Structure formats: structure tokens, C-alpha cells
Structure 1
Amino acid sequence: MNMKLFKLALIMIVLLFSIQIPSAEAATLEGETTVNLNVRATPSTNGKLIQTLKKGTKVKYGTYNKEWSKIYLNSRTYYASAQYIKRIATPSSTVTKQAATSTGVTTVNLNIRVSAHSKATVYRTLKKGTTVQYAVHNSSWAKVYIGGKTYYAAKAYIAPKVVASTPTVTKEDGYANRSLKLFGERNQRSTVLKVLPVKSKVVSSKYNTSWSIVYLGNETFFTPTAWITSGAPATPPATTKPPVVKTDGYANRELKLFGQRNQRSTVLKVLPIKSKVVSSKYNTSWSVVYLGNETYYTPTVGITTGAPPVAKPPIAKPPVIQKVQGYANRNANLYKKTLQSSPVARVLPKYTTVTYSKHNSSWSVVYIGTETFYTPTSWLTAGKAPAAPAATPKGKVYTNTPGDVLNVRASASASSAVLGRLAHGTQVDHYGSANGFYKIKYNGRDGYISTAYAMTLKPNATSGAVIVLDAGHGGGDPGAVNGSLYEKTIVLDVTKRVETYLRSKYGYQVRLTRSTDVYLTLDQRVQTAKTLRGNLFVSLHTNAATTPAAKGVETFYSSYSAHSAKSRVLATNIQSNLMGKMSGMTNRGVKTANYYVISYNTMPSALVELGFISSPQDVTHLRNNTSRQRMAEGVAEGIAQYVRAYH
């Protein structure tokens, strides 16, 4: 009987050992970062930093060794410090089917998109900690329900909202018993985020036996528990710690100031040699430097007590400057610094006689009156300047200042001295142009006149101005429409009336960009004006608005144009004369607008809006032939007023 029991027991033992016990831990775990955690390419603090995960980020991870864990991001494996990953308990083997809609909370500032794609349009961004209703869309995306509509967000950044009891955090008051470094991680080799002065009051709670959490406003940091003392800082007895003795001194070298007593830490400021400093000894190697309300650390060896020594004047006499008489062997730029990229103060024409001295191997000092300048030595030649060859005129121009005179200046600048004045239509030889000025000869010396007030053709006794008129729209572009009334038709009719009036009354040269119902692009209109060699350009249009209340006449010029000043005069003259003819219409005034045809033209230009085709009041004038004729005469008289002033 005993033998049977023994055999039965032996069989049970064999059966028990033959059963394979499943592993209690899966290869991939669910976890959460407990600090802002650096993810690296290799399991080493010197490994390449891939990214930093915010505190509280959910991660999938696996065990690598005692100190490091594998982190799985974007289908790749990286590494992070194992002590800063908290494992999240996995659900039991009994799978509970998730409800169609769940309540969750965002773990970061989360972009909500219109579709489940990282490049989809962002509908809005929910702040970290926002409660949302959501459902699983796929392995990467969740549906988010906002305002009765469905949007999408990265599933990894929505955590189920769980109401669970949390351990009571015991916060206590205390103070820093030393200069208190605050970290984002429980690692003294990590980045120092803030430093609190010794004896600063702090509110903290114990994280573990070595580390505490410090609370500053809404922010939390980690610091070694040993650096905090509970209660209020006590005033030590006089014999406990000697008072800080601040002494005046100076930097005996270029003085680097640090936030830590470590010369490999970041240099926060650098004081020049001989700077005055107030400091106190921290220990045998380091001193505390006081700048205003801030304190820094620096090696004590860099500070000398007392006032910096006053440099004694040299006994030896300064070297005698050897000034040389010479001349500029080219058009030589003069500078206030020994740097050719600095502003040019003056220009010496070639063969100008100068007095100069050597500054260094590359530069010389040039003396002009009481002023000194620098110029490259290679641009100067010692000795007497050769006779400069007589300059040959490069062409003739005529002054173009109707009713006015043109200033002749000493240099190519509108702020230089005025040498004299030339009457309108005066012919002069020019020797080239630069900076918007022609160089000429005036009373035996060089002078300069503005190219803006000179022309290559002699002005006519009356006016040689070519007036270019542009009827807006045309062809397949009707412009503004009111029933059977088209903008393109109105403005072409008024434009032809303006042309006829200017030709018959004043004999002006008038050209049209279009005289029939054809379409021209904006650039074609500008190029046509250039081809016609126009001296001024006027484009006619009618306006339109979504409300019938908008009405009236207005004229535009472009502040972008190189001729904005004359364009403003042209626009003002047209608006004034047009309203004189059409006093029954609303005066909307002269305005600026960078329309293409008036911004990119090479001549003074204006754009006229003859009224609103959408206005019941204005449209009666736009339909009426008598009103159109008065409009044409007003525009024409404004142009004529401008031409008389400038041509």
C-alpha cells in the first residue's frame, strides 16, 4: 500500500514540473515618464539625443538592463534611463470592451484635425489637461467629438479620465540651506532649470529618501532633500558663521562669471580687464561677485583687491607722423573706419592732390582740413599728380522745370551745397550719372543736377507732353455691370471724349491704350504706355459695391511709384476739376492705392473712379451723354492743369 502511494506521489511531481509556467511579464510594457525624459540613440548619457518626452508621456518600453530601458518610438528602438519610467498596470486577462465614446483628458497641448492625418488642417488646439469625449479610430488616431461634430487627434496623447484616489502629498515649509539648484529630472547631471539663493523660503514634499519636489507657482522641480531644511531659517550665532565681507577690487584679466562653481558650466557674463568689482570669498578657490541684485561665481585668482593701477604715461615721445604729399591714382573712397564695408564718407576724384600718412600696412590716413579719413594705401601715389586728361562729355541734356529753376549742387546729393541755378530748357553737357544726378561743368568746376528734372529732348515752347489714356477692362472683361450697362463701355466712351477735348482745345499729343472693345492685361497697359513714350498716364474706371449706399467720385495715385509726388499732383488736379464739373455727385477725394497700372508705370500716373455703377444716384450720370461729356471735360482740365505746371 505504501509503495502505491509513493508511486502516485512521484507521478504527480513529474506532472507538476512538466507544466510550463507562462512568463509574468510581456516583452513590451506600458509606461509613463515621471520627468521630462531624454530619449537617446544608445544606452549611454553620451548617446545622441533623439528627443525629450514631457513628464507624464505614455510610452511603450522594454527592459534593456538595470539602468536603461528600451523605448519604442515611430517603429524604432531607442533608450532612456529606467528609473524615470513608471510602469502602468496592464488590464487583466479579461478584456473589457471599450465603450463607443469615452471620457479622456489631453496629456499635452493637442492639435485637433479635420481628418486622421498629421498634415490635415488643424481645427483647434486643446490645452493640456482638457477633458474630451473620444472613441478609438485606429491604432494611431482617435475620434474627438466637439460641438456635435467629429474630429481627429493622436490617440497617444489622450488618456482615459480616471477618478482615482491619490496619496495625500504632504507639503511643508522650509528654506534652502545652500544655493539651491532645481532640476527637471532626479539627476544632478541634468540641466539646472533655476537656482534659488541660500535661505530662500521653499514649499516642498518628499519624493523619496533622496529627492524632494519643490513647488514654485504652478511649476514643480526636483532637488536633493539634503539641500532643504524644514522650518524658517534661523539666524546663526555670531560665532557659527563669519559675516560676509565684501571687498572692492578689479579684474586682473578678462573675468568670466558663472552661475555655478564650475569653469565648465555656462559663462553668464564677461567683465573686461580692470573692471571694478565688489566680491566676497566663498572658499579658497572661488569668490562671489555682486552686480546689482545679482550674484555670480568666479575664480578668486581673477580678482585683485584695491583699485586698478593707473597706467603711467609713456616716457618715450610718440612717433613723429610722417605726412606725405601725393594724389589719388583712382576715384578713391574715404572712410571713417579701416573697413571697406563701412559707409563712404567722401570720394576723392582721380588725380586729386592729398596729404596722407601710413596707418598700417594696408591703410593710410588722409588729411582734409581739420578732418581725417582712411583709405587703402594702394589707392594713393606719392609725388605730384599727372595732368588729368580732359573729360569728354557723354551727352547733352535739357533742364525740365517748367515755371521754375534747377539747383546745381556741389556733389551728387540733394543735401549738398547749391552752386547755382539753371533756367528751364537750358542745354548742358553731362559727364555721366550716378545716384540720380548728372555730372556737369558749372563755372569751371564740377557740378551735379538731378536726373529727375532733366531730359534728352529739348522741351517745346508750349508742351511736348505725350498723354496716355487708358480705358479700363474691355473685350471678355466687362468690368462692373448693372443690367445692360457695362463699365468697359462707359469708360471707353468717356476716354474718347477726353482725347477729343485735349486735342481740340490744347493741341496735346494724346494716345490711347485701347480705342476698341478689346481686352488688355494690366502689364500690357503699362508696357503700351512705355512704348508710346508717355509723359503721364491716366486710367478711367467706374466703381461698384455690394450696397447701393456707396456713391461718389474718387481719384487714386500710388505711394509705391517712383513718381508718387507728381502722381499726387496729377490726381489732385483731376479730382478738383472733375468735381467742379460734377458738383451734384459725392466727392470721395484723392486716395492712395497700389493698383498695378499706377504702381509699375514709369511716369506720373492716376486712376479715376467716375462713380458707382451700383448706386441709383451715380448710375443716372453714368448713363447720360451730357454727364459723360462733363466728366470728360473735368478729367481733361485736370490733366491740362498738370501739363502746364510740369511740361
Structure 2
Amino acid sequence: MKKLILPTFCFAVLSTVAFEEKISAAPLHAEQANIETGVMFVHVNSGLLNMRKTGTESASVVAKLAKGTKVTVYSESKGWAKIRANGKDGYVSTNYLSATKPGTLTKAAVAIKTTTKYVNVSTGSLNMRKTGTESASVVAKLAKGTQVTVYSESKGWAKIKANGKDGYVSTKYLSTTKPGTVTKAAAIVKTKTKYVNVSTGSLNMRKSGIESASIVAKLTRGTQVTVYSESKGWAKIKANGKDGYVSTKYLSAAKPGSGSTIATPQKTTTKYVNVSTGSLNMRKSGIESASIVAKLTRGTQVTVYADSKGWAKIKANGKDGYVSNKYLSTTKPGTVTKAAATVKTTTKYVNVSTGSLNMRKSGIESASIVAKLSKGTKVTVYSESKGWAKIKANGIDGYVSTDYLSTTKPGTAPNPTIPEKTTTKYVNVSSGSLNMRKSGTESASIVAKLSKGTKVTVYSESKGWAKIKANGKDGYVSTKYLSAAKPGSGSTIATPQKTTTKYVNVSTGSLNMRKSGIESASIVAKLSKGTKVTVYSESKGWA
């Protein structure tokens, strides 16, 4: 098989660039453009092979191909082949194509190297599926110890033949020796003995090393377990005659209470609950949806065992649980320490053009609003990070956008909210008007529409957006529609200097031209096959 496929594969790779250039230059068929292609055959075990409009499982089916159908392959990418068959163009899975016609026995086919393995499941049977995915249909159920012939292994799946049928199984349930056979290698497997060390309740032993796996047993504190391996926070074990997985953080090298070192954290810290209002929820695990085990009032002393991803594992009032670490402080609320006295703050003022400024519970747009601050309100700024300022205003703590704070009170000269250094540019759109938005995102509300040639003052530019003032209003516009010279003045403008000409090449129907480079963007036109287009730029699959 290698000797037959390799020339065709290399030939296809060498011709890919030429093919792509010709096919994009004009809508010609492969024969007309003299494109060199490869020939293969449909190879399905049963039924027909779907030829789809594009290389995705969800694409519409343009034809159904019988076993042995001869196809012309233009290119292969990510498991899909672009082909022509029975006078139609489309895409099929490369899994169902072969270099030889089914039933043709070649020297290469005889030389295929296979391996023999055995089904090794702890309980039940192993599903053999039609393709190498969990959602594929089951073609057979294989009992423990079944001998299988393995053709290939990839991404956790093995392509096999068993009991006269072809299919795919998970590689983790195959072994090189028949279950029950003791080999020299098996005899020297190194295991460790550990003990269950939970503070309360029991430890769940699960079918696999994930939180959502089914529970096969509950292990009490002090239970002795045999550990086969440990990976990514999970231990594969045997306990009470059962195999399964448990979290490594609840295992210790010595039996709890034996006087030896156990898994209890050696280093802890003391902190205090510091909420502005109400109480702090202590949850069963470090996620917002976990059940609440206790409510802790402001000033409650807690012992912190660990801190990770915004959650602290604690003990408080004799109970264990997790709380958000942003509501813990190293000093008791109301206690003034030397360190607290030296915290450096700055004073700023709310500077909004209209309405009021939302002060939120945390530094995200979706956080709840704790207060609305009017223009000119004096605030104390503790820190600034990622466009948000942690502040105190009118006796309330919260977060506001740094865009709407200034170092001087609005109306006070000089006004430092205006950048010292600005540049002048002009709106340069080919048609229509340019949207000026409230913030630098496509979803922000539109505050004005600027016509071509409008003069704007640019304060700053970042990530494709410019903060500007135009026609007496402040806002943001896309930098790609601004130029240093007024359109038509004869100076260099923002129009791309280098363009290419290409043609629409669709096999059927028309090509959607969208407002922006995403599938969900609105359609502004439908282009028929052969339409000539001018390409300014190409990025991430969009032109």
C-alpha cells in the first residue's frame, strides 16, 4: 500500500499550489485547467458514502457514492477530500477512500502490517463503532479477551477487525496480552499502598478520572488502597476488591491517626471574611453552582488550606468548604495596621458626558450595579487593572470603568482627560458612513454616523479601535477607516496599496458576501459563479 499511495500523495502535494492558483483565478474545471489530480476509489463496508457540499459532517449531501466508485481527488485536508465523482464536485471523508478498487489484491495490500491485541474491559463488553467517535453507531459488542486485528491507531481510537467485522474501538480497552495471562512485564508492575484521608464523610471512587464519572464505591477514612498510577490529580486504585479512580488529594502515605505524616496541609494561613454587606457563602466545592454549607458573617476568622483559581479552601466554625478569595482579608475588618495605613490611593472624579456612571460589584460588565455616580463625583481609587478601577465613593466600595475617571474635576482647567498629544485624521470609507460607537467593540451602541472626509481628533489607538472626538462628540471608530490625509487631497490615504483580482468559484448556487468575517454576520450580497472580485486582504479563512 505504501508503494502505491506514496507517489500519488507526493504528486498531489506538489500540485496543490498550482491547483489553488488556477482554481481561484477563474472558474474552470480540472480538465480545462490541466490540473494534475489523484484517482481513488470509494471503500465502504456497507451502504453508500455521502458526498457533501463542504468538508463538514453537517454540510448538505450532494450525492451518495456506491462502493468501488472511481473518484478524482483534488486535495485532502483535516480528514476530508475534495473530489469529483459522477460529474459532481464535493467532499468525502478520507477514511472511506482507498488507492485500489475494493476486491483488488495488490502486493502492497498483502504487505500491510497489523498487530494482534485483546479486549480488556473490567466489566460488560466493549463497543465496536462504525467510526472513531463516541457518537458513531455500534456495529458489535466485544467480550473481554476477544482477539482483534489492529490496522492502525490514532487519537485514542484503533481501527480493527474482530469476529469478521470491521470497526473502531477505544485503544485504552486493548492490551497486548490476553487478560489473565501473567507476563514478566506484568509481574514487575510497581504499586504503592496509601490510605483514604478525608476529614468528614466518605471518598467517592469513580469509574474514570473525571468528576462526572459514575461512582463505583464509597471509601471510608483509613481505607487501605493499592495505587497503580497517578495523573492529573487522579489515582487509579484497587480498594475492597474493586477498581476505580479517586482524587489524589484525599490519599495519604500513612494511615490517618497513626502518628506518621499524613496528607493534611502543613502550612495554613489565617484570614477574615470581609464583605461590605450581607454574608459570605461557603460552598461544598470551588464553583458558583456548588451547594452552600454555611453563611459567614463579616469579620469571621477562617483557616485557609489552599488558594486556587479565585477560590480558597477553608475551615470556619468547625466546617470545611470553599469561598471566593476576593472576600477574604489578612486583617480583621475595622482593624488599622501599619500596612493598612500605608496603602497608596489616588483621588479622581467621575467624568461622563451624559447620564451617570455605573459602579459595579466586580470589574466585569455583567456584575450587578451597587451605585450610580453623577458627573464630578469624587472617588478614592485603590487600584486599576484591565480597564477597571477599584474605588470607594459615597461610602460604598465597587468597580468602575477607568475610561470615565479623570484626575481633575470636570470643568476645572486644565482638563487632563484630553490627551496631551493628539493626531488629526479623516474618515475614509468607500461608501455610506462610519459608525462611531460608545466603546471599542462591534456590539457597542452607535453615538454618531460620520461621512467620508470628516475630520476627527484621535486621542489613542489600540487593538484596531481609535478613541476620537468628531462633531463635538467622543467615541470609538475602527482604525481601518481613518487616513492621515483627507480623501481626494492627493496625499497618501488609508486605501490598501496592493490588491489582487480573483473570481467566485462555487459548484452550485451563489456565494454569500457578509458584512464582516464571521458566519453569523448579515448577508450584504449574493455573488454568482465567475463574478470578478478585488481582494484587499485575507485572514483566518476570510477575504
TM-score (norm 2): 0.34
- The structure with more helix, counted as a fraction of residues: 1
Q: Which structure carries more relative contact order (alpha carbon 8 Å, separation 6+)?
A: 2
